[in-house]
Amino acid sequence: MISKDLNPWWVTGFVDAEGSFAMSIFKSKTAAIGWTIEPCFIITLHVRDLVLLDLIKNFFSVGSVSIVGKDARFRVRSRSELNIIIDHFNKYPLQTTKALNFSYFCEILNHINKRVHTNLSGFLKLASLINRLNRPLSQSLLDKLAQIGPLPKVEFETTFDLSASNMEQVLNPFWISGFATGEGSFTYFTKTRVNSEGKTVKDYSLVFEISQRTQDLHILNLIASYFKVGNVYTDTSGISRYRLRTKDQIISTLIPHLNNYPLAGYKALQCSVWFKIVYLLNDRVRTDQRDAELEKLIKELSSLK
């Protein structure tokens, strides 16, 4: 049974931001060929978001949550439990290019379920496919695999179409908030100037931003289309950004959305302080008391990063 604490589209949005579909290859004393493959769905966050991972675990009712140093991890490894994860994303599809990784993951898992990996040729075929999933295999692992045979050149046989035309044209609002919980940034720019009285003062410009690799530019355009405010641009490093920094638009558009479709976890705390700064800048005439309160909130926001 799925918990009602998190909306299913919210969960998909968050996984689009923070989730990973991975395959681990390692030596095994019990496997006939000496090697095996383990599928895993994982979300890794800072330990301060342990409560959020517990909510996600309760949502799916599978997997486990552990702490490793400053990281908290939600993992699902059992193939029967992975079926529950897969069923969710078939019903509430991923919207970024992570959907392609999910498709590849499902194809490899289908081969594993057919025990293709238990013979040498099948294992090397899957290792070649895994080398293209998410990130390439390490060179040290590739060197070890080369000792048992060359990786064949294989192609994924997925029916998934990556074109933006097949993505959701209108993003679900819960998906947006889940994605913003993972990828959103609530920050500010500071500009120092000397006022007419010769006093040095600070001016703050508030910024809500979501950054993505350019391959997911379509998602930022869809978010901009949903809010109908803000701008999308790509910098010289190849990173694309959706940015909203006009105070009136933040108050009229972003804040009502996040009140209706809340963030969760540590990002919700950042957002709460950021909202206080927005209202303080909008409603108060500039006074020493107001500036002192503003500086206090700015320091609080900075401490939450």
Asked if 92 and 191 sit in the same domain, the reply is no
Domain CATH code at residue 49: 3.10.28.10
Out of 129, 146, 163, a domain closes at 146
Asked if 54 and 141 sit in the same domain, the reply is yes
Asked if 284 and 192 sit in the same domain, the reply is yes
Asked if 65 and 26 sit in the same domain, the reply is yes
Question: Does 1 reside within a domain?
Answer: no
Question: Does 165 reside within a domain?
Answer: no
- In angstroms, the CA 43 to CA 72 distance is 8
On whether the CB atoms of residues 45 and 72 are closer than 8 A, the answer is yes
pLDDT by position in tens, the chain (length 305): 334 489 999 999 999 999 999 999 989 888 889 899 999 999 999 999 999 999 999 999 999 999 999 999 999 999 999 999 999 999 999 999 899 889 989 989 998 998 988 889 889 989 988 887 766 788 999 889 889 988 888 776 655 555 544 454 689 999 999 999 999 999 998 888 887 777 777 888 899 999 999 889 999 999 999 999 999 999 888 899 999 999 999 999 999 999 999 999 999 999 999 999 999 998 777 888 888 899 999 999 998 88
Question: Does 164 reside within a domain?
Answer: no
Place of tokens 């996600």: 56
Number of domains, the chain: 2
Question: Does 160 reside within a domain?
Answer: no
Out of 113, 131, 146, a domain closes at 146
Asked if 189 and 107 sit in the same domain, the reply is no
Instruction: Check residue 3 and give its pLDDT.
Output: 41
CA 247 to chain centre: 26
Question: Does 98 reside within a domain?
Answer: yes
Asked if 134 and 188 sit in the same domain, the reply is no
Question: Does 66 reside within a domain?
Answer: yes
- Give the number of other Cβ atoms within 10 Å of residue 207's Cβ: 16
Residue 243's beta-bridge partner residues?
Answer: 209, 231
Asked if 181 and 293 sit in the same domain, the reply is yes
Out of 112, 146, 180, a domain closes at 146
Question: Does 190 reside within a domain?
Answer: yes
Q: What is the pTM (predicted TM-score) of this model?
A: 0.90
Nearest residue to 174 (alpha-carbon basis) of 295, 77, 257: 257
Question: Does 93 reside within a domain?
Answer: yes
Asked if 79 and 198 sit in the same domain, the reply is no
- In angstroms, the CA 81 to CA 149 distance is 32
Range of the domain at 90: 8-146
